[in-house]
Structure 1
Amino acid sequence: MSLPKRDGVNGRYYLIHKPDTDLEVLEHADQCIQDILDGTARENHSDYPVVVRSKGGTPFLPSQILDRFLFRLPLKGFPYKEAVTFCDALRRLVGWQQICYHLTQYIETQVQGRYFIVGEKEDFFMAYPSCVVSPELRQEEVDESLLRFTCYVAVCCTVYGASYESVTTEHYFSLVSQLRPDMVKKLKNNGTGKLPKDIQRRKTEHLTASANDAFATIRITAKDNTLECYGEALDYLCEVLEQTEFPRSYSVEFRGPEKIYLPIQGLPKKGINQLFARAVQYPELHTSIERYARLAMREFEWYNNLSDEQCAMPGTFAVFALGLEGPAWWPLVCDYLDLCDDEHSSLQEKFLHALFKKYCFTARSMPVLFHGVQSMQELKPAKEFRALIANEESLDALLDAKAHLEDYLPAKEKRDKKAWDYLWQGVLWAIWGKAAENGGSKVIKTAPEKWKERYTEIFQPIANKK
C-alpha cells in the first residue's frame, strides 16, 4: 500500500494533526518517533520549513512529531525520563527553535492550565499573566514528574534559547515553586546536575567559585589580588563556558578584596567590571582574558545581571580591558564590535570614546572606528574628537580608510553605493557630529589653510564605484 500525496507546503512533508489523517501516514509518524530515539532519523534544512525524516525517508514537521509524542503521554505518572530523552534527541536533530514554541504550549496547557487560575496581564509589556494555584486542586492531583519536566523545559529556554526566553524560564520556575518549592530550591543550589562536580563548586587557596546551569549564574569570590588568584578565576570561567550545556547568556557575580574599575566613564560598576580591571593588570594573563572573550562572545546573548540600558554581550568587559592595553588587541576588539547587536547595544560607545582619547586616530586605530560605527545605531562623538583628528597623521589615516572603504563593509554590501555612503556619513558624524552636516562646510571653513585640501577631500561625497 503506497502513501497518499504529501499535503504539506509545496508537498514537502505530511500533516498529521487532522482527524482524518491516513492511518498509514500515522504509522510512519510513529516510526519516525522511534527513529529519533534510535538516532536514525534525519533532518532537512535545505528549504522552508525544516522537516524531520524517518529512517525510511518519510518527512514530517518536527513540531507535529513532538506534539504526537507528548500528547499521548499519561499526565498521571508522567514518564519524565522518556520525555526528556525524546526532546533532547529531537532538539539535537533539528535545533531548539524548531520545538520551543510547542514545548512551551504543552506546559501552558498541561501544567499552567490544569493547576492554576490564570489572571490577566497588567499591561501589554508583560510576557505572562499572574497565576495562582487553583483552590480546587488537590495535592494528589499534582504529578511531580510533570513538574520536573516543566523545570526541564524552563532550563532549556535559558540554555538553548535566545536571551529573552529567560522570561519563560522565570515564569515556569514560579509556577513550580507554588506547588513544589523544594524542587526549584534544589535547582537553585545544585543546578541540573549535568555540570561536573568540580565545575559546580570549586574552592582553592585563592578563591571560591560555583556555576549553576539552571539559573545561568557564575559566582566567584577572590580571596586575594595575586596573579595566581586571577589566573584561577579566568581558567574557571573558561572551563564553565566550555561546558556545552551551560547557557550562553548568564550572570557573573564577582567579589574581590579591592574595588577598582576599568577607566571608562559610564560603565556599570559591577563585579564583572572589577574582575577584568584587576586581571588585566597582569600581562601574563592577557592571553587568558582573550581566551575567555573568544569563548564568551555570542551575538544576541547578554550578561543577565545588567540593566537594559547597560546591556552587554558576554565578553564585553574582557574585550574593553584588553582593548585599552594597545593595538595588539584591536583585532579582537573589531571581532567583538562585529558581533554587537546594533539595535540594542550601545555600551561600546563609552569604550570607543576612552580608546580614541588614549590612542588618538591613527592608521592602526582607524579600523576600530569603522567597526564601531557599524556596531550601533549611532556612534556619537566625544567633544575631544575634533581636536584629536586635527593633525596630518590622523587626517591622512582617515583619507586612506576612505579610499579602502569596501574593506570595512560586509561582503553583501561591498558593491552597494548606498552602503558606502551610509558608512562614511556615520564615520564623519562619529568624529564631528553636527559639524559634519552640509558637506562639513563649518569644519572646512575653520580649518588651517595647510589642511583645507585634506578636509575638503574628506567631506567630498563618496565617488561612484562600479
Structure 2
Amino acid sequence: MSDLDIETIIKKILAKVEDAFNELNLPKTPYGRNELWEGITNYLKIKQLRDKIEVYTSDGEYTSKSITIAGFHEIPQETVENTIIPALEEQLTQMFFNPDFYYRFEYKLTLVFEFQFGLGRHFQKELTLEHPERKAELKERLDAYVQKVIYDQTAKMKEKEIHSFFDKLFDFELNGYSEDKVIEILEKGFLLIDPKWKKTMEEYLWCLLYYSNQWKEQVFVPLYYNVKGEDWSKEYTLKKDLEVKNIDQAKLNLFIQQALWRIKYKEYSWDVRFACEDLERAAKELGSEKAAMYLKKGTGILPDNLIHYKDDDIECDANDVFATITIKIKQESAATYDKALDFIIALLKTDFPRSYEIKFSSKAPKQFLDIKGIAKSSTHRFFAQALQYEELHSKIAAYAEAAMREFEWYNDIEEGEKSCMPGSYAVFGLGLISEEYFPLVSKYFELLDDEHQMVHKYFVSALIDRYGVNENSLPLICQGITSAQFDMVFKNLAKELENPEKKQLLINFLKEKEESFAADKNQGSYKYYEEEIYYAIYGKQWKKKI
C-alpha cells in the first residue's frame, strides 16, 4: 500500500473523530454548558477490527462512530504500529492542546488505540494527556463555586450543574480536597436543595450514589483489597501485610460515609445489603470503631434511653443509620402497645429519620387493615394490631400527627404504587373507625405527595364502603379523589349516587366548590376539579351520565 494510501487512511480516521464530536449536540466553547463543564470528554478511543474503525468518546463504549476502510486488515502490523498510530497520536495530541478544540476535552484525556491483526495478535496503547493551565483554571472555578453555593449560599445549585459538580468534587487530583471536606460539602449541598425541587433532588441523589460508589470501586477498594469476580459475585480479600495503622483514615471515613448514603438514599433494595457489607468490612477488617457503632446502635447522636427500651412485656430498639424501629412484643395488651407508641413518638421528636420502617414481631395471629390493595408490611401489621385497643386510638392519632410529613415514606415497601407517607396506616385505620377522625384524614390528604403517592385510593374506596355518601363523608371523599394523580373509577361511589338525595348532595357540593373557586378568581381550575370528580364516579363516559 502506498504512502498516499496510508495518508488517506489517517485523514479518514481523523475525519471520523471530527464527526464523532460534531454530531454531539453540545456547546462549542469551554464552560458553555455550565461554569464547571470544561469540555465534552476525558476519554477517546480508536478501535479497529478487520476493516472497521470505531471512535468512542466515552469509556462505557455504548455508542460509536465508525468507518469501513476496505483492505485495512491487510496493512502490515509494523505499518500500523510505526506509522498510522504515531500519526494519529500526534494529530490528536495537537487537537487536545489546540484552543479551538478545548470544548471537546476536559483538562485531562485518556487516549486509547486498540488494533487487532489476526491470529490473536493485539496491539493496545493508552496514554494520558494533561493541560496544566486548564487544570488550574478549573480548580479556581471549582473553589469559587463551592464557596458561593455551599458556604456563602449566595447562589443556588442548578440541576444542569450537578453532574459536573460531582465529577470535579470526586477528582481529588484536581481539587486537592481531603475526603473529609468532600463529605462536608456534599452533606451541606443536600441540605440546601428544597425538597420541592424534585428533579434537582433526584439528580443530586443519583450523582451522590453513583460517584461515591465509583470512588469506592476504583480508588478505595483497590488500595486495601484484592477483588475476584464481578458484580453480584465479588469476593474481597484483604491485601497481605496490611496493618490497620497504615489505613488512610480520611479515605476510610469516605468509604463509611458512602455506605451510609447508600442506606439512607437507596435506589434499589439490594443497596442496603451491599452497604451493610461495607460497614462490616470497615468495622471488622479495617478497624473502624465508628462503623461498628453504626451497625450496633446508629450514629450515636441519640441518647441510649431514646433508642432502647426493655421490660417484661416489650423490647424496643432504634437505629438512625438504618432508619429502623424494632418492636418486639412479648405480652399482648393495650399497655404494651401504649409503650411502643410512646417509644416511636419520642423518636419522631428528635432528628431520627422521617422515612423509616417498623420491624415488628409478635406471637399474635397476623392481621391487617381490611383495605384491599395496600401492602401487608411489618409496619402495617403493627398499627393493625394496635388499633384493636380503643383506649389507644387517641395515642395512635397523636402518632399520626407526629409522623405525617410530605416527601417522606415508609421504607419497608418498594418504591411504587403501594408506597405511602408515614402515618398512613394509623390514619387509614382511624378514618374507618369513626367520623371523629375525619379532620385527621383531611390533614393527611393535604400533606401527602400528590405526584408520587397512589395507594390511598384504596382507602378512599374503603371510606365509601364504610360511610356511604352523607354531608360529612362527601367532602372528604372528594378531597381524597383529588389528592393524587390516579385514574381510578369508584363503582361503589356511582352506586351510592343512584340515590337521588345523595346525588343532590353532590350537585350542591360542586356548586359550593364552583363558587369558592370563583371567589378565588380561579374559575378555570374548577372545570378540572369537576371533571376529576365525575371521572372518578362514571369513568370516561361521565359527560353522558350527569
Same fold at TM > 0.5? yes
Would the alpha carbon gap of residues 333 and 27 (structure 1) be closer, same or farther in structure 2, given more than 3 Å must change? same
Q: Which residue matches 1:240?
A: 347
Match of 2:300 among 193, 204, 207: 193
Contact 2:326 2:359 in 1 (8 A): yes
CA-to-partner distance for each residue in 1:135-162, whole Å, 9 max, x for gaps?
7955738656534422323323544x4x
Would the alpha carbon gap of residues 396 and 63 (structure 1) be closer, same or farther in structure 2, given more than 3 Å must change? same
Would the alpha carbon gap of residues 103 and 313 (structure 1) be closer, same or farther in structure 2, given more than 3 Å must change? closer
Please state how far the C-alpha of 1:28 moved relative to its aligned partner: 8.8
Please state how far the C-alpha of 1:328 moved relative to its aligned partner: 3.0
Please state how far the C-alpha of 1:359 moved relative to its aligned partner: 0.9
Please state how far the C-alpha of 1:399 moved relative to its aligned partner: 0.6
Would the alpha carbon gap of residues 112 and 205 (structure 1) be closer, same or farther in structure 2, given more than 3 Å must change? same
Write out aligned runs for 1:125-204 (5 A). 129-130=231-232, 132-133=234-235, 138=240, 140=242, 143=248, 146-159=251-264, 161=265, 164=267, 168-175=271-278, 177=280, 187-204=294-311
TM-score (norm 1): 0.69
Give the Cα separation in 1 of the matches to 2:436 and 2:422: 21
Q: Which residue matches 1:58?
A: none
The percent identity for this pair of structures is: 25
Which of the two has higher C-alpha Rg?
A: 2
Match of 2:534 among 411, 422, 428: 428
3-state SS in 1 of match to 2:234: strand
Query: Are residues 1:222 and 2:333 paired?
Result: no
Q: Which amino acid aligns with 1:377?
A: F
Q: Which residue matches 1:448?
A: none
Match of 2:361 among 255, 262, 269: 255
Q: Which residue matches 1:356?
A: 464
3-state SS in 2 of match to 1:334: helix
Q: Which residue matches 2:213?
A: 108
Query: Are residues 1:326 and 2:434 paired?
Result: yes
Mind listing any 5+ residue stretches in structure 1 that lack a counterpart?
1-6, 53-60, 121-128, 441-458, 460-466
Match of 1:44 among 131, 152, 155: 155
Bigger strand share: 2
Count of residues paired in the alignment: 404
Match of 2:316 among 209, 226, 249: 209
Query: Are residues 1:301 and 2:408 paired?
Result: yes
Would the alpha carbon gap of residues 392 and 31 (structure 1) be closer, same or farther in structure 2, given more than 3 Å must change? closer
**Cα RMSD for the two superposed structures:** 4.5
Mind listing any 5+ residue stretches in structure 2 that lack a counterpart?
1-29, 39-105, 108-131, 196-200
Q: Which residue matches 1:454?
A: none
Contact 2:315 2:327 in 1 (8 A): yes
Q: Which residue matches 2:41?
A: none
Please state how far the C-alpha of 1:274 moved relative to its aligned partner: 3.3
Write out aligned runs for 1:273-352 (5 A). 273-307=380-414, 308=416, 310-341=418-449, 345-352=453-460
Contact 1:381 1:429 in 2 (8 A): no
CA-to-partner distance for each residue in 1:387-421, whole Å, 9 max, x for gaps?
42233442122112221345898x999443xx544
Tell which deviates more after alignment, 264-273 or 396-405.
264-273
Give the Cα separation in 2 of the matches to 1:32 and 1:48: 12
Tell which deviates more after alignment, 352-361 or 337-346.
337-346
Would the alpha carbon gap of residues 353 and 110 (structure 1) be closer, same or farther in structure 2, given more than 3 Å must change? closer
Would the alpha carbon gap of residues 180 and 274 (structure 1) be closer, same or farther in structure 2, given more than 3 Å must change? closer
Please state how far the C-alpha of 1:235 moved relative to its aligned partner: 1.9
3-state SS in 1 of match to 2:409: coil
Contact 1:299 1:340 in 2 (8 A): yes
CA-to-partner distance for each residue in 1:296-343, whole Å, 9 max, x for gaps?
233443222235553322211011012113333223223323444556
Give the Cα separation in 1 of the matches to 2:521 and 2:353: 33
Q: Which amino acid aligns with 1:380?
A: V
Give the Cα separation in 2 of the matches to 1:66 and 1:276: 44
Query: Are residues 1:377 and 2:490 paired?
Result: no
Give the Cα separation in 1 of the matches to 2:256 and 2:459: 39
Q: Which residue matches 1:464?
A: none
Please state how far the C-alpha of 1:219 moved relative to its aligned partner: 0.8
Give the Cα separation in 1 of the matches to 2:165 and 2:256: 22
TM-score (norm 2): 0.60
Contact 1:334 1:367 in 2 (8 A): no
Give the Cα separation in 2 of the matches to 1:90 and 1:180: 28
